[in-house]
Every structure is written in C-alpha cells, then in structure tokens.
Amino acid sequence: MTSGRAAVGGAKMAEERLATRRTPLPSAKSQKPWLKKAAEFPILEKQNWLIHLHYIRKDYEACKAVIKEQLQETQGLCEYAIYVQALIFRLEGNIQESLELFQRCAILNPQCADNLKQVARSLFLLGKHKAASEVYTEAAKLDQKDWEICHNLGICYIYMKQFSKAQDQLHQALQLNRHVLTYIMLGKIHLLAGDLDKAIKVYKTAVEFSPENTELLTTLGLLYLQLGIHKKAFEHLGNALTYDPTNYKAILAAGSMMQTHGDFDVALTKYRVVACAVPESPPLWNNIGLCFFGKKKYVAAISCLKRANYLAPFDWKILYNLGLVHLTMQQYASAFHFLSAAITFQPKMGELYMLLAVTLTNLEDVENAKRVYAAAVRLDKCNPLVNLNYAILLYMQGERGAALAQCQEMEEKVRLLRDNSSLEFDSEMVEMAQKLRAALQVGEALVWTKQVEDPKSKHQTPSTSKAASFQQSLGSNQALGQAMSSAATHRKLPSDPAQGDSPGSQASGLGAKVCSRLTGIPGGYLLLISASNAVLCLA
Amino acid sequence: MAAASSSDSDSCTAESEASSKWLDAHYDPVANIHTFSACMALADLHGDGEYKLVVGDLGPGGRQSHLKVLKGYSVLSDSPLPALPAAAATFLMDQHNPGTPVLALALGPCVYVYKNLTPYFKFSLPQLPLNTLEQDLWNQAKEDRIDPLTLKEMLESIREKAEVPLSVQSLRFLQLELSEMEAFVNQHKSKGIKRQTVITTMTTLKKNLADKDAVSCLVVGTENKELLVLDPEAFVILATMSLPSVPVFLEVSGQFNIEFRLAAACRNGNIYILRRDSKSPKYCIELNAQPVGLVRVHEVLVVGSTQDSLHGFTHKGKRLWTVQMPAAILTMNLLEQPSRGLQAVMAGLANREVRIYHNKALLNVIRTPDAVTSLCFGRYGHEDNTLIMTMRGGGLMIKILKRTAVFVEGVGEVGPPSAQGTRLNVPRKTRLYVDQTLREREAGTAMHRTFQTDLYLLRLRAARAYVQALESSLSPVSATAREPLKLHAVVQGLGPTFKLTLHLQNTSAARPILGLLVCFLYNEVLYALPRAFFKVPLLVPGLSYPLETFVESLSDKGSSDMIKVLVLREGQSAPLLSAHINMPVSEGLVTA
C-alpha cells in the first residue's frame, strides 16, 4: 500500500485497488491500513500546516484547539505546535509562558536558530536585554546569515546603551538584507548621539531604498526642519502626505511650516484632518490656537490654547503662547499667571522673562519689572528686543545712563545677528530703536539702516543653539504683543480698542512723544512632534 | 442561474443591487462548509461542459472531513475523507483523454487522484532517509544486544548532533520512564523505524505546453522543506527542490520542460523564488511578517501579510508597492476574467469585506454578512465569471459578475481625506467670559495687586502656622537628627469605649531609639484613660510599633473633644512630636 509510488503503468495498478467502489471515496478498505499506522505512531507534523493556516488567519481559538489535539496525540513532541502556542501566548501578553514554551522548543530541536531567536525575543519583551543579547549571539552562531538576529541584537545593544556595538550590528544587518526597520533604528542611534547629519544620511539612503515609506519621509522632513532647510523639509513632508494624507506627524509639521509663512487658512484645513484622527493632541491645539492668533481671532485662539494647556499642563511653550495672547488682549493679570507658570517650567529663557517684565510694566509694578528685565538680559544672548524693551523702561524711569548701556548691548547683538544670518528685523522694532536713540541723543544708528537697505531676504529662523524642535520667528512677527511703558499712553488705552491690532501705527502717531510703546514680542511657538521625541519606539 | 438569483438575494447586499457589479446567485448561511481557498477547485469533472465546485471540507472544528462536489446550488456528492485535506487541484493527466480533468487531493502524506469522481490512484510520498546510526541501534535492540538505557543514551546523543532527525519511534522512546522502556522496546523492536513527511501545499504546473488543455504536473510542498514535481502519468518524481523553510503557499508560472518560476511562501515569513535550473532558491523576499496569501497577477507576485497589507513584488523579489488594508486579511485568490483580459487579486478581510485590487488600485468592494474565509473565481455551471465564497460560520455564497460590469480603477479613496471637510471643534466662550475679559482690561492692575496681596497674606499665614507647628512640635513627624520619628494614630470603635492605636515608627537608617515616653492630654471630665503616661519600648529602625490604649467616653451628652498625644524624651520637657486626635462622638451613648 505504501508503495503507491507506482512506476510506469502505475495508473492501471492503482485502478485495480481503488476503482472498485465509486463514492464514498477512499474506501474503508484503503482507509484501514492508513489508520492502523496512525494509531501506532502518528506523524508528528501531521497537522502543522493546519495550525499554521489558522495562525496566519489570526483564528487563535481554532488554532489552540488543533494544537491541543496535536500535542495530545504526539505526547507533547510536536515542536511546531508548541512553537505556535508560544507565539499565541506572546500575542496575548503572556510573555513568561511563551518564553517557557520556546525554551521547550529549543530543547526539542537544539539545532534550530529560530527557536533561539524566539526565546531571545521573549526575553527582550520581558526587558531582560542582556539575557536576550546573549541568546541572540548564541543564535547567530547557528545562523550567520540572518539579518533579523543582527537587527535585534543591535536593538538590545541600544537598550543596553552600547551604541557603537549596536551600530556595528545594524550595519551588519543592512549588509545581509536591507530593511526599513534597520534604517530607522540606525537613524535613531545617531539622533540619540545628537548627530543630525549622520542621521539624515541614514534616512536619505533609507528613503532611496523605500521611497513610499511615510514614516521615513516624515522623519527626514522633520530633521531637515530642525536644521532649517525648509525647502527640503517641505518636499519630504509633502511626499509623505501624498502617500498617506492622514499622517499625523507630517500634517502637524507641514502645517506649522505653512503657519510660519502666514498661510493660516491652509494650515487650518490641514489640521482638521488631524483633529479627527487625534483629537487630544496638545501640539495640534496649540498650533490651531496660533493659527487663530495669526488671524487675529483672539478669543478662539485662547480657547484652543487653553484646551492644549488642559491636555498638556506642563508644556511651557503652550503657557508661553497663552501668556502672549493674553498680553495682546491686554489681559495683563492673566498673562502674568501664564508667564510665571511658564518660567517655573523653563527658567532659562530670556524671552520669557522679557514678556513677564512687559506684563509687569503694564501692571504698573516697575520695581519688579526692572528685576525681571535684569534676569532676562542676563539669560538672553541674541535677542536685541530684550535690551530694547529694557532700555525703554529705564529711559521712562529717567535712568538715562543705564538705558544707554542697554542700547549699546542691543546694538552689539544686532551686529552679531546681522553678521551671522540674513535675518530681517521687524521694521517696527527698528523704528522704535531709532526713536529711542534720538531721545537718548546718540548718533544715528548705522546698524539698522544697513539692514533695512538689504534686499528682501527670506525669513529664516536664527541659527541659534536652541533646539529647533520649535519655530522661532523673530523677524516675521505677525502677532505683536504690545507693551506700554509710558503712563501717558497707558491711560489712553481703554478708550482705543483698535490699538491692539495696530501698535505700529500708534507708535508713529505719537511722534515726538518718544517711543512710548514697545513691540516686537516674538511670535508664538509652534509645536511639532519632533523627530527626537520619537526616539526609541521599537517595533 | 442568473435568473434565479433574485429569489434568494440577501438583504444585506440588496441596498446597492442596481449599482453593484455582482448578481447574487446563492447564499446559504448553513451550508456547513469550512475550508481554505487552497481546498477549492472549479472544474468540468465529467466532461459534460458543466463546471462543478470541488471542496475539500475540513468539517466544523476540523473534524469530519469530507469531499464535497457541488453542482448548481446542490451538493452532488459528499464522501468522507480519511484525513484533513491540505489542498485540492484539478488538472489534465494525459493527452489521450482531453477535456476531462482529474482531481487531486492532498491528504497527509498522500495525494489521492480521482477520475470522474471515482478514486483512481493514490500516491504516497517516499519515506525519508533514516539516520544510519539510529537504524543500527534498533537493529541491535532487535537482536537484544543492547539494553534500553544505553539505547536511550545513544539516541539522545544522535538527537543533539545529527543532521538527520530521529524517527517518531525513537522520539517516543526518549520520552519514556525507565520502567516503561523495556516493554516499549519489546513491543516495537521487530518493526523497522520509519520517517514520513506530510504534504502542506500543492499546485499544478503545465508540463510542455501553455495551452489551456495541456497536461500538467503536480507540484507538492512538504513538511520537510522540499518541493516535489510529480509526473502526471507515471507519478514519478521529476524534480526535487529544497527550501530553507516549510512551504505554505505556492505560485507557479511557465512550463516544466521549458522554463518555469516557482514562488513559495514559507513559514519563516520569507518568499523564495526558484527557477527550472535551480535546486535551491534564487531570490528571497523577506516580509517581516507571515504571508497569508500568494497570488500571481501577470508578472507581479501579490503577497498579503499578517500586518494587514498587500505587497507587490517582481519575479526577482523587488518590492513594487504596498497597500494597507482596513482589517486582517483572511484569504486571497486570483480573479481572472479572460474575456476582458483582466487579472486582479481578491482578498477576504476580517471586517466582512472582499476587496478586489488591480495592482495598487482598488476595483471593487463586496460586503458580506460574515467574514469570508475562502474565495474562488471562475467558471461554474455554465456561467463564466462566478465568485464562490465560504464564510467563517460555514456559509456559502455565490455571486455572478454581471456581463456588463466593467471594473474601473479609482473606486477607492482619492483626493483629500473626508475629515478635511469637517469643521474644527473650537471650544465656545460664553458671554460671561467676554465680560470678565473686559473687566480684566479695565481693572487689571487692581486685580493683580489684590491677588498679589492675598497671595502674600496666604503665604505669611502658612509660614506662621508652620513655624508654630515646628516650635510646639505639633507635627506628627519629627525630623531632628537624634530622634527621627513618625506618629500616626487610629481610633476604632463606636463608643463609649474606643480603642486608640498609635503607630510609632523610627525612621532613622540604623539607630534604635530608647527612652521615649508617651503622654496623653485630655479633658478629664469627658474621657478616662487607663494610663495617661507610659514608656515606649526600644524602637528598632523601620518597624512600625502599634501602641494601644482604651479611651472611655464619660459624657452622656454626645459631646466629643480632642485628645493630644505627646511623645517626649526622658528628661526633656519639650515634646518631640505631638498629634491632635479628634475623638468621634460616642454613638453607644447617643442611642442609649
């Protein structure tokens, strides 16, 4: 019977045997010897194919039933049944049980690298990275050409903070077989080490290898954004959005770029998609709030920012923006609270202190304002506004000498900025500074005029040392908070509600009455999900 | 067949009956067919021009397996099978008898061949080579030249090192207890050992000609990681190819004697591509997930993965595209409409949809009342384009593609996502808010000043209270360097007798504390304590000492008072720490 492998002419031979009955098919006669054999020693792998088919269909209940039957029949010898049972355990979160079963598989078949790989994977998921790496090394001895072993070993090393070893393993994995996942991890190692250029290089090769991977495109876009290369950033983010128009990270990043260029309506339309997908995202509501701020819809801006603050109460950028909007709305008492909260979380930023000082000035607390200005000047390294505002306050208080000193410091900063980047200064700020100079009776400033004559250069963020995960637009100051240092103008304020919208014209209207107001508070902070935030989200 | 469709069309699809490309021919939710796409085949088995559906049915729960042959809506024949069918295929066996294909069913280690639906031939896979050492050992055992214990040791060493795995008999033997070994050897020594493998998948490959009615070979994938090509007439193995893993799905193109390409999706998540002259894989596609289906559309290999996506690959393994599915893919098959030259992929999803894709483009979505677990498209009965689906619950659904229906690309989502049209849910602000804003503008400075003054006052009061607490050691935690202590008091009971438990803990790292006293201060009119003053035992660091005392409430007016607990150091009048315990009202007296 077993010699059914009949050679030539076997067809006829077989006919004799089987063709005696029509249906039911493989007749009872032919069935018997087969059954007898089965009763003695069933083939261990008899139903492996069925287990596998159920498993890949994610029909785990059926799968478990077959596994149970199979294990009973073979008295626990069927390696594949145990293997799949362990896989299911792992999917169900019983990692310890899965580990034990995989170890049993490894005992049943010690020559198989796959069993060891799974043991290591379970150890990895249990957080035992060192043990996992040891088992992976063991597996690598059995199978030298498996990229997965190298890749996972690399990830274990990342968790063990051995970055150079991790890099070696990941490079080896890439040599064996190129996978997007390996590129992503390699890029993350470079990001962890703070090496943006290398990370960009890795992601660039990865994008060439897999041009439709939205995660790669988005990450690369964000990295370019961090470096201030806006054109390339926009290109990659745009590509990501073409392949996946609902990509949260890409929309947020692209939207914030549009916002910096003043396309508030387009940005808002884009944000709608995110608002549906991730309605509880603090960066999203922050950016929406700033869109409304840019469109001068202040109440809506405050609503959105407050929601963002509710969702992320410890984010100082949101608090900063709230402070800024309240300042613009002349709600100084509220602005004070938001700004001081922001300072509690971020005590090392000059601009925050400056805003607080402006608020205090408006709250007629000159003493404290001066103190806060002093702190701001001490912390800030590159923003001439801080000095300008301080100088104006000092001048108003009649401290001409100190005002002059601040004025000179401001010029120093302006010179530095102008040399380092093609930044365009806010015209209003320039005007104000010139008025102050006139009042202080210093010679005509050359610093600004040169700058004004400059051809219209593109707005660019200053290349400060600050982490570029947020956008700082010094010159392109669409949203101007305003600060009053003159008591005279202050008294006028409530009667003129339009003031908040056009501080510039007001200032010029005052004419001879030396620069009574200061402007030029930096625009709000846009939030992105920065590339570095996403570090270490492993598969 | 189409005419009869209206009578039992299902309500769930009735909504778009007119616009649908499909006619509902038949739906039987209790057809009791549980199978995989690989076990379904459409063929003109009797050569009478009427195509039948052959289903290798696994039965509910994978028990009683049957071979079912369906004609129209009815089951033509239903016969039990000795094992679960892994795959079914129909093919032409010899040129002399054109037009009547035979049916091959893969069951365990055998292929059963049926002609005219009668059993015709059974092919068993050859025995696998045995480990020579193992064979020697059993031969020795047969002649009683080896005792069971040595046998076990020898077998164990073979299992760990040898390339060729052991037979089931040896593996079983190794599992036994010492006492059972003797009997086992005696029972089984006379029989030779065997190693047998199982068929996991099967497909057909044209032998010489590409014609529709040309003779085909069978290609069989086995559990021991091999692919075998069988001659259709003599049933000899024409070629053997080995794979690095166990094949699950096969896809073949070309002719055996000329040139062919074989793609095998394997259990390790890889797809291997082999060619005629290669004994081992030429290209390898690593999926990072398990493949759930493999279909060749023209020259593109379409693979569904467990990560809910469809991937397109060239025959050299280069990835062309990826499409994300809304749910897990359960099964896949080819949709071929020769009259329009269309080839597309059908994928049955867990969200009760069947999606039809041509490359990346979605052509059509069919919604079904249950999740579709197997799919088959082709000529059934006399109708050319019939789609046969079986459901998870055992249902059977037959749909016919309308003759006027043309699949157009771009049915799916194009343009901006729909979410872009919805309005942003910006929180509204009330009138009150606006009024308050105006008020703040007018009186901001005053508000700020009042707030600051109050804040300072609050801070001042807090500081004062704190200082006072420190001075009079009112706090329940003493932080002095010599006696770091923690006190915590609990009152239990309803009254008039309460139990007062003080938990005293020495919080220092290593030093025990000796010579402490506890003193209670209370109103003697209201309360009586057995001891108002007692010594504390030595306090070992870290442990919490419960010190219990009873408090009797003397008042019958339901009044209660505060009891002060002072912890003192011997010889010092200032307490180290103190606690004020607000005694509850004695309920025993109130009710009495």
**Segment B270-274 long-range contacts (CB within 8 Å, at least 24 positions apart):** B270/B244, B270/B245, B271/B301, B271/B303, B271/B313, B271/B317, B272/B243, B272/B244, B273/B301, B273/B315, B273/B316, B273/B317, B274/B227, B274/B241
Q: Which strands sit side by side in the sheet containing B118-124, from one edge to the other?
A: B85-91, B102-107, B110-115, B118-124
Closest-CA residue of A relative to B176 is A75
Q: Which residues are bridge partners to B438 per DSSP?
A: none
pLDDT band at A501 (very low <50, low <70, confident <90, very high): very low
Using a pLDDT cut of 70, give the percent of chain B over it.
91
Mean pLDDT calculated for residue range B450-476:
85
Mean pLDDT calculated for residue range B12-17:
46
Strand, helix or coil for residue A230: helix
- Residue in B36, B199, B451 closest to A333 by CB: B451
Contact of A193 with chain B, judged by CB distance below 8 Å, is answered with no
Using a pLDDT cut of 90, give the percent of chain B over it.
16
Contact of A15 with chain B, judged by CB distance below 8 Å, is answered with yes
Mean pLDDT calculated for residue range A524-536:
36
Instruction: Using CB atoms within 10 Å of the CB of residue B420, give its burial: 0 to 12 exposed, 13 to 18 middle, 19+ buried.
Output: middle
For chain B, what is the mean pLDDT?
Answer: 83
Q: What is the DSSP letter of B134?
A: H
pLDDT band at B263 (very low <50, low <70, confident <90, very high): very high
* Separation in Å, CA of B547 to nearest CA in chain A: 44
Given this model, what pLDDT does residue B418 score?
Answer: 67
Contact of A64 with chain B, judged by CB distance below 8 Å, is answered with no
Which is more confident, B181 or A309?
A309
Q: What is the pLDDT of residues B324-345, one digit of tens each?
A: 888 899 999 999 888 888 889 9
Given this model, what pLDDT does residue B454 score?
Answer: 95
List the one residue out of A253, A255, A180, A254 whose CA is nearest residue A213: A180
Mean pLDDT calculated for residue range B303-311:
90
Q: What is the pLDDT of residues B511-568, one digit of tens each?
A: 888 888 899 998 888 888 888 888 888 888 888 889 899 998 887 777 788 888 888 8
Contact of A293 with chain B, judged by CB distance below 8 Å, is answered with no
- Which of the residue ranges A139-143, A233-237, A494-498 would you say has the lowest mean pLDDT? A494-498
* Separation in Å, CA of B145 to nearest CA in chain A: 24
Measured between alpha carbons, how far is B174 from A368 in angstroms, rounded to an integer?
86
Contact list in A for residue B52 (CB cut-off 8 A) is: none
Contact list in B for residue A365 (CB cut-off 8 A) is: 448
Using a pLDDT cut of 70, give the percent of chain A over it.
73
Mean pLDDT calculated for residue range A284-298:
88
Given this model, what pLDDT does residue B16 score?
Answer: 52
Contact of B328 with chain A, judged by CB distance below 8 Å, is answered with yes
Q: What is the pLDDT of residues B115-151, one digit of tens each?
A: 888 888 888 888 888 888 888 888 888 787 777 778 8
The yes-or-no verdict on residue A534 having pLDDT over 60 is: no
Q: What is the pLDDT of residues B571-581, one digit of tens each?
A: 887 788 888 88
- Residue in A6, A22, A329 closest to B235 by CB: A6
pLDDT band at B410 (very low <50, low <70, confident <90, very high): low
Contact of A243 with chain B, judged by CB distance below 8 Å, is answered with no
Query: φ and ψ at A417, to 5 degrees?
Result: -65, -40
In what helix (H) or strand (E) does residue A516 lie, and over which residues does it extend? none
Decide if B118 and A23 are in contact by the 8 Å CB cutoff: yes
Contact B565, B581 (CB under 8 A): yes
Given this model, what pLDDT does residue A263 score?
Answer: 83
Contact list in B for residue A24 (CB cut-off 8 A) is: 79-80
Which amino acid appears at position A30 of this protein?
S
Strand, helix or coil for residue B535: strand
Mean pLDDT calculated for residue range A232-246:
85
Which is more confident, A121 or A381?
A121
* Separation in Å, CA of B487 to nearest CA in chain A: 34
Measured between alpha carbons, how far is A421 from B201 in angstroms, rounded to an integer?
67
In what helix (H) or strand (E) does residue B309 lie, and over which residues does it extend? strand B309-313
- Residue in B233, B306, B420 closest to A11 by CB: B233
* Separation in Å, CA of B433 to nearest CA in chain A: 10
The yes-or-no verdict on residue A10 having pLDDT over 60 is: no
Closest-CA residue of B relative to A276 is B419
Given this model, what pLDDT does residue A38 score?
Answer: 36
Given this model, what pLDDT does residue B577 score?
Answer: 83
The yes-or-no verdict on residue B469 having pLDDT over 90 is: no
- Which of the residue ranges B24-28, B101-105, B316-320 would you say has the lowest mean pLDDT? B316-320
Contact of B168 with chain A, judged by CB distance below 8 Å, is answered with yes
Contact of B310 with chain A, judged by CB distance below 8 Å, is answered with no
- Residue in A7, A44, A50 closest to B62 by CB: A50
Given this model, what pLDDT does residue B558 score?
Answer: 74
Which is more confident, A374 or A13?
A374
**Beta-carbon neighbour count of residue A221 at 10 Å?**
29
The yes-or-no verdict on residue B459 having pLDDT over 90 is: yes
Contact of B382 with chain A, judged by CB distance below 8 Å, is answered with no
Which amino acid appears at position A433 of this protein?
A
Between chain A and chain B, the number of residue pairs with CB atoms below 8 A apart is: 229
DSSP B261-293: EEEEEETTSEEEEEETT-SS-SEEEE-SS-EEE
pLDDT band at A27 (very low <50, low <70, confident <90, very high): very low
Q: What is the pLDDT of residues B70-115, one digit of tens each?
A: 888 888 888 888 888 889 998 888 777 666 888 999 988 889 998 8
pLDDT band at B455 (very low <50, low <70, confident <90, very high): very high
Given this model, what pLDDT does residue B387 score?
Answer: 92
Mean pLDDT calculated for residue range B226-251:
88
Decide if A272 and B419 are in contact by the 8 Å CB cutoff: yes
The yes-or-no verdict on residue B457 having pLDDT over 90 is: yes
Selected for mutation to probe chain B from A51, A56, A112 (highest B CB count within 10 Å) is A56
Decide if A363 and B448 are in contact by the 8 Å CB cutoff: yes
Mean pLDDT calculated for residue range B371-388:
90
Contact of A10 with chain B, judged by CB distance below 8 Å, is answered with yes
Contact list in B for residue A57 (CB cut-off 8 A) is: 292, 328, 330-331, 373
The yes-or-no verdict on residue B592 having pLDDT over 90 is: no
Mean pLDDT calculated for residue range B431-439:
89
The yes-or-no verdict on residue B423 having pLDDT over 70 is: yes
* Separation in Å, CA of A365 to nearest CA in chain B: 9
The yes-or-no verdict on residue A467 having pLDDT over 70 is: no
Closest-CA residue of A relative to B439 is A331
Decide if B248 and A56 are in contact by the 8 Å CB cutoff: yes
Given this model, what pLDDT does residue A465 score?
Answer: 29
Contact of A22 with chain B, judged by CB distance below 8 Å, is answered with yes
List the one residue out of B203, B230, B40 whose CA is nearest residue B125: B230
Closest-CA residue of A relative to B107 is A46
Mean pLDDT calculated for residue range A191-196:
86
List the one residue out of B65, B165, B167, B60 whose CA is nearest residue B108: B65
Residue A474 corresponds to which tokens in the numbers above?
A: 């010094």
- Which of the residue ranges A400-409, B103-112, B251-260 would you say has the lowest mean pLDDT? A400-409
DSSP A362-422: HTT-HHHHHHHHHHHHHH-SS-HHHHHHHHHHHHHTT-HHHHHHHHHHHHHHHHHHHHHS-
- Residue in A4, A75, A333 closest to B440 by CB: A333
